[in-house]
Chain A
Amino acid sequence: MAPLGDRVCVLWAQGNLQVFHQDLPLSIQDGYEAFLSSDSVSLQQYQVFGHLKRLGYVVHRFDPSSEPSPYARQLNLPRSRDRGGRQLKRKRSPSPAPTSSKTAAASQAEEMEEEDKLPESHLVASAAPQTSSSGAAGEVQARTWWPAEVPERQAGQRSAPGSQRWDFSSICFPDLGSAGRLAPLDASLLPGGVTPGVCDVAPWMRRINLRKVKMSPKEEERERRQRRRDVNKDKEVQRCRNWAEYHKLLERRQAKRQGRPAHLWSGEVQPLHDPTRPISTAELLEKISVIKSTDLLEGAARLKGSEEWRICFNVYQPDSVADFKKSNPGKPYARMCVCSFDGPVPDLRVIKQLSFQSGDVPVVYAAVDHGDISFYTFKDFQLPRDIYP
Chain B
Amino acid sequence: MEAELQPQEERSPAPVVGLSLCDSAPLLWRLQDLKAVRSEGLVGALLGSLPRTPRQNVRLGRPLLLLPEEERLLGERGGAAALPAQNQEAAAGELQQRYTEEQQRSFEEQSVLALEDRESALVRAMTSSSGSDPASDEALQHRLLDLEQNFSFPRSALAVQLSTARAGLSHCPEARAFLEADWPIRAQRCPRREARFQVFRDLRGRGFFLTSAGKFGGDFLVYPGDPLRFHAHFIAICLALDESVCLLDVLCAARLGSNVKKTVLLCSPAPDGPVRYTSLQWSGMV
Contact = CB atoms under 8 A, between A and B. Distances in A.
A15 B162 contact: yes
A54 B23 contact: no
Contacts of B128: none
B97 to A, nearest CB: 11
Contact of A13 (B23, B27, B49): B49
Contacts of B48: 13, 28, 50
Contacts of B167: 25, 27
Interface in A272-331: none
A36 interface: yes
A370 B57 contact: no
A54 B99 contact: no
The size class of the interface chain A forms with chain B is 20 to 34
B110 interface: no
Contact of A371 (B45, B95, B164): B45
Contact of A27 (B57, B99, B165, B211): B165
B46 interface: yes
Nearest to A28: B164
Interface string A17-47: 0100011110111101100111000110001
B212 A29 contact: no
B20 interface: yes
Contacts of A55: 55, 57
Contacts, number: 101
A54 B164 contact: no
Interface residues of B, number: 40
A354 interface: no
A37 B49 contact: no
A369 B60 CA distance: 15
Contacts of A25: 99, 160, 162-163, 167
B56 A54 contact: yes
A246 interface: no
Given A38-B24, A54-B57, A32 B166 contact: no
B44 to A, nearest CB: 8
Contact of A36 (B22, B60, B165, B166): B22
A175 interface: no
A51 interface: yes
Nearest to B99: A24
Contacts of A370: 45, 65, 67, 211-212, 214
Given A36-B23, A370-B212, 17 more contacts: A10-B49, A15-B51, A24-B99, A27-B165, A28-B163, A29-B27, A29-B29, A33-B21, A38-B24, A43-B47, A50-B47, A56-B55, A341-B212, A369-B214, A370-B211, A371-B45, A371-B65
Closest 6 CB pairs of A and B: A371-B45, A369-B214, A341-B214, A14-B54, A43-B23, A13-B49
23 contacts: A10-B49, A13-B54, A15-B162, A18-B160, A24-B96, A24-B99, A25-B163, A25-B167, A28-B162, A28-B163, A29-B20, A29-B165, A33-B22, A36-B22, A42-B23, A43-B22, A43-B23, A43-B47, A54-B56, A341-B214, A369-B214, A370-B214, A371-B212
Interface of A: 10, 12-15, 18, 22-25, 27-30, 32-33, 36-38, 42-43, 47, 50-51, 54-56, 341, 367, 369-372, 374
